[in-house]
Chains A and B, each alone.
Chain A
Amino acid sequence: MMELERVLYVEDDEDIRVVAQVALEMVGGLNVKVCSSGDQALAEAQAFAPHLILLDVMMPGLDGPMTLAGLRKIPALANTPVLFMTAKVQPSEVAHYKSLGAVDVLSKPFDPMCLADQLKSIWSGLHDG
């Protein structure tokens, strides 16, 4: 099984971006590319060729679901697993996001010490299944 290495992370809030980046890179040892908007992600994702994409739901401009839709139009990324990250959610909302094509939904605020492990276990879950 391929190890999870490259994660594309899209988040508009700069502070959270920094925290998440530290959590994933320093704690989790992952290679993270951070984008501050959906547009940036669409422009730069293909070049990074991520294993996994983590999208904030509420963002100015392109929001999470719109970004997901845009990414799916890029052939190279059509099958890349996408996770949403959003405030504490209802089960029905989780179902809604999954129906859009997300493999899972992570809740904010996240525990930075566990975030990378969460991604890794979802990743291995995807490949085991």
Chain B
Amino acid sequence: MQAPEIPDNEAKRLLALQRLHILDSSAEERFDRLTRLAKAMFQVPIALVSLVDADRQWFKSRQGLDACETPRDISFCGHAILHDDVFHVSDTHADPRFVDNPLVVQAPKIRMYTGAPLRTLDGLRIGTLCIIDDKPRLLDQTQLSALRDLADCVERELAQAECETLMLRLSEAESYSRAVMDHVVDGIMTLDAKGVICELNPAVTQLFGYDRDDLLGRRMDSLLLAPGSEQDCLGAAAEFEAFMLRADGSDIVLRGRRRDGHVFPLEVGLSAVERNAGRQFVLVLRDITLRHAADLEQKKYSVALERLHTITTSSWPFERKVEQLLQLGKDVFELPLAIVSCIEADDYLVEFISGPEGAPEPGTRFSLSGTYCVHCLQADSPLGFHHAGESDISEHPCYQNFGLEAYIGAPLLVDGLRYGTLNFSGPDARAQPFGKIDFNLIQLFSRWVGNEISRHATQLVLQREIAHRTAILDSANFSIMFCDLEGVVRSFNSGAQHMLGYHSKEVVNQQLLTFVHDEEELTAGAVAQGLEFAGACGVEVLVGRSRSGSADEHEWTYVRKDGSRFPAQVSITSVRDERGRISGYVCIGADISERKRIEEMKSEFIATVSHELRTPLTSIAGSLGLICGGVMGTLPESAEPLLHIALKNSERLIHLINDLLDIEKITAGKMQFDLRTQDVAELVNKSLEGIAGYSKTYDVRVVPGRVPDEPPRIWVDEQRVQQILANYFSNAVKFSPLGAEVRVHVDVLGAWVRVSVEDCGIGISAEFRPYVFEKFAQADGSDTKKTAGTGLGLAICKELTEHMGGRVGFESEPGSGSLFYVEFPKANRDGVGSVNVRQDEQGRPFVERRRSVLASRSQMALDAAAVGNGRVLHVRDAQDQTLHRLAERLAVDVEQAYSIEDARARLDNRPYDLVILDIGMSDNRTRTLLPHIQGLRDSPRVLVLTVEDASEQWLTEVDSALVKSRISEQDLSQSVKSLLHLAQNSHGEKTE
């Protein structure tokens, strides 16, 4: 058997077959009619319409056969469709292609087959009309032609089916596109070659506001405005066609005009189509008003930003910049009047203004409540309206008085505090309300103006400060040098030029700070400080001690350019940057040769006078001593008391002269100290031995009191300490009642060792306390008879102690005795560490010269003054100039702490009247200071400044909490003042 071949165009053939949608459909009379006719005409038992599918033949119509399909490979039709001619097999038994075909061997036992191919309109053979007989039979040409004719009839029926399918699908497509046309938002219309509207969808009528019938037959260009012109329409038909041709296939933006005259941006998509009636255009129209507006806004925004950038980066003076910004705002918001206002209480002060002629002058004041700005301040955000007369604020006084229709304004913050407003306004209503971009812009503008005002104010303060400093620097009486960390001189004032004979050009950036010093003296200084003297070490000798924080005062020899020398009192202070790191040193020198000369004259005078006084006194006291001693025989009884008085007073005079010489020596630095480590207990015991005889005459016992188990050692000159203790003892004895006891205690207080002498004498009155350690101070003039003394003793004690690095002080209650103490740093075997440098918890050296609070009167006075002015600690995380300016205005002492740790250390170290906590946006740490502050003795008042409203619990515990953007500098200053006032009054109560 030979299976049929697959034709070359099989794929196309199958596609054509499928497109007929006929396979596996039900039987149809129009085909059955033709197979019946064929069966009758040719007197055959079987007639079929067979369609050859990919692997089967399927019978659309069959007569005399039950099967509806058979496999293609055994089919006769598979062969028949390979050629156009009718396929005739007269006897299958005689044909080797079919003799063993199952359809021949078995039922229906085909002996004769004749099939005429069925072709589609495209000529593709998709099947056959065939007749089959079970007897051999040869058909003549006439018969074959007849079968062909019948097959043509079948072909016709097949074509009909194809056509019907197409029609159905066409109508489906049309109803779909109709639905799209009717409901799409874009307008769609068809124009003929002359631009006349032939067809349109409902969206077009909406777009232009005309009825469908008004538009049909109308020219399209009557609906458009030509680009670049308000009036002209698109023009004549010829131009329109040219335009359309040019625009074919691309989107263009035109302006459409509605029936009511409103003009809107219109995006037009255009394509040309050829129709029977000729060339036509299909237009897709879209109203792009919204997109267009957004584009315009965007453009306005970027133009404004560009101009703002030009202004901000310019080097114009402040006033010019602000003026330019106001001009920019006027252009952007299309308003003629621009104002920067400063608001204090209910006063609206015009600070800068840019407007038409007749606008108010800068400096004009209005009542705030009469301006629109009051609302934008209340809202604490930008505010604007484009047509006041038609809004609910038409009753507003600002509208009533000034007739301003349009307004946009924003609050102006300077350093976070309310300052005033930036606003733009005009007498004409604006067509459009202000948009988001307008509000963004004015906020941006106001922020910039705020920064600029702050910077300007700071600059003024700085300039003033610089002027002050320059004046100070140029003062001719002091040499002032600034050097960097390496010791290189960076500035050299005119005083220094004058004093030292160098020109600043020879010094600045050329010389080390040491260049005016005597090298030998520096070497000696280095040795004294335990430094090896080499190279830059000279600078270290000078500045080293200033690094601890306080100024280092020292006398040095300065060498002028001409080689001459003079003594200078040199004060060196370390300069710290904003992070507290040392950035250099200021070195101020005063020529003290004149002072020295006077001092030398003075001490020479004192020495001479003392000596000259002492010589006669020696003989007076000696003579009297001999007489009173009975060497010259017995004296008359009446003469004896008088001679004793004379003797006692001559001895007192000698004491006085000795004390005077002592104190002169100490203050002139001529007293030498032999410092060694000494055991305190031993020192005390020796002193006790020394006082025994003296105390006996007063009938007072001096006894040891508390002593630690391991008596500490101190670094002192033994003799001087003996002198100090002897002085304390004799005072205690003198002021004690008969039979009383004086106790001597040794205590260790941290790094300090305290020796205190406690009596139960008359005590010290409150008035006298500040003067106890002053020269020639004695408590009660009327009491001198009992308590003779020179009045220099305690002053000498203080001087001696402080020269040995210690401190003196006392505690006393009038009537119940006094306790005088002297403290020295605890020493180890090698001497003593620098106790003046305390380490805080963070390990940062925290330096303060320790002083006994009551040790000197001047210190007391200083403290009193500081409290009087108020001492404020401002805690925040960055530099802020506001409080700096405030400090100047209020004459308060404002310190800044930039970290919690810094603040804590400062709070522990000195008393403050007020702490200002400046709380940033996402700051959760600052609040942790509050418990610490509350735990302090004499805890200061607390003022909290926040960025935004906050109703947190902890804020109820502070004295005052303010939102920065809602208060002005004046408000803040007022709050600070009243809190300081409160603080000082309550301190007063505590001390009374």
Contact = CB atoms under 8 A, between A and B. Distances in A.
Interface of A: 13, 15-16, 18-20, 22-23, 26-27, 58, 87-88, 90-92, 108-113
Contact of B615 (A13, A22, A112): A13
B625 A113 contact: yes
B594 to A, nearest CB: 28
A69 B674 CA distance: 29
Which of B625, B629, B672 lies at the interface centre, i.e. has the most chain A CB atoms within 10 A of its CB? B625
Contact of B622 (A19, A58, A87, A92): A19
A26 B626 contact: yes
A15 B619 contact: yes
Nearest to B654: A109
B719 interface: yes
A13 to B, nearest CB: 5
Interface string B623-659: 1011001011000000000000000000000100010
A4 B548 CA distance: 61
Given A26-B631, A27-B631, A58-B611, A112 B616 contact: no
Contacts of A87: 610-611, 614, 661
A27 B626 contact: yes
19 contacts: A15-B616, A16-B618, A18-B619, A19-B623, A20-B622, A26-B631, A26-B632, A88-B658, A88-B661, A91-B672, A91-B719, A108-B618, A109-B614, A109-B622, A110-B622, A111-B625, A112-B621, A112-B625, A113-B626
Given A87-B611, A88-B658, A109-B654, A16 B619 contact: yes
Contacts of A88: 658, 661
Contacts of A109: 614, 617-618, 621-622, 654
Contacts of A58: 611
A23 B658 CA distance: 23
A92 B671 CA distance: 10
Contacts of B674: 91
B672 to A, nearest CB: 5
A23 B610 CA distance: 24
Contacts of A19: 618-619, 622-623, 626
A25 to B, nearest CB: 10
A27 B622 contact: no
Contacts of B621: 109, 112
A22 to B, nearest CB: 5
Contact of A112 (B611, B629, B671): B629
Contacts of A91: 672, 674, 719
B920 to A, nearest CB: 63
Given A91-B674, A92-B672, A22 B631 contact: yes
B614 A108 contact: yes
Contacts of A13: 615, 618-619
Which of B611, B619, B671, B674 lies at the interface centre, i.e. has the most chain A CB atoms within 10 A of its CB? B619
A30 B248 CA distance: 148
Nearest 4 CB-CB pairings of A with B: A19-B622, A15-B619, A109-B618, A112-B622
Interface string B655-687: 000100100010000011010000000000000
A64 B658 CA distance: 22
A112 B658 contact: no
Nearest to A27: B631
A9 to B, nearest CB: 13
Contact of A22 (B614, B626, B671, B719): B626
A92 to B, nearest CB: 5
A45 to B, nearest CB: 23
A22 B614 CA distance: 19
A2 to B, nearest CB: 26
Given A16-B622, A23-B625, A112-B631, 12 more contacts: A18-B623, A22-B626, A23-B626, A26-B632, A27-B631, A87-B614, A90-B665, A90-B671, A108-B618, A110-B618, A112-B621, A112-B629
A113 B672 CA distance: 32
Nearest to A87: B614
Contacts of B629: 27, 112-113
A18 B624 CA distance: 12
A18 B658 CA distance: 23
A90 B719 CA distance: 10
Given A109-B618, A109-B622, A110-B618, A90 B672 contact: yes
B652 to A, nearest CB: 12
A108 B625 CA distance: 14
Nearest to A108: B618
A126 B631 CA distance: 28
A10 B615 CA distance: 14
A1 B118 CA distance: 173
A83 to B, nearest CB: 16
Contacts of B619: 13, 15-16, 18-19
Nearest to A22: B626
A59 B618 CA distance: 15
Interface string B717-743: 001000000000000000000000000
Contacts of A90: 665, 671-672
Which of A13, A15, A58, A110 lies at the interface centre, i.e. has the most chain B CB atoms within 10 A of its CB? A15
A23 B622 CA distance: 8
Interface string B250-274: 0000000000000000000000000
A37 to B, nearest CB: 15
Nearest to A19: B622
Contacts of A22: 626, 631-632
Contacts of B658: 88
A109 B665 CA distance: 19
Contacts of B626: 19, 22-23, 26-27, 112-113
Contacts of A110: 618, 622
Contacts of B611: 58, 87
B833 to A, nearest CB: 27
Interface string B355-375: 000000000000000000000
A10 B989 CA distance: 69
Interface in B571-610: 610
B631 to A, nearest CB: 5
A20 B621 CA distance: 11
Which of A13, A16, A23, A109 lies at the interface centre, i.e. has the most chain B CB atoms within 10 A of its CB? A109
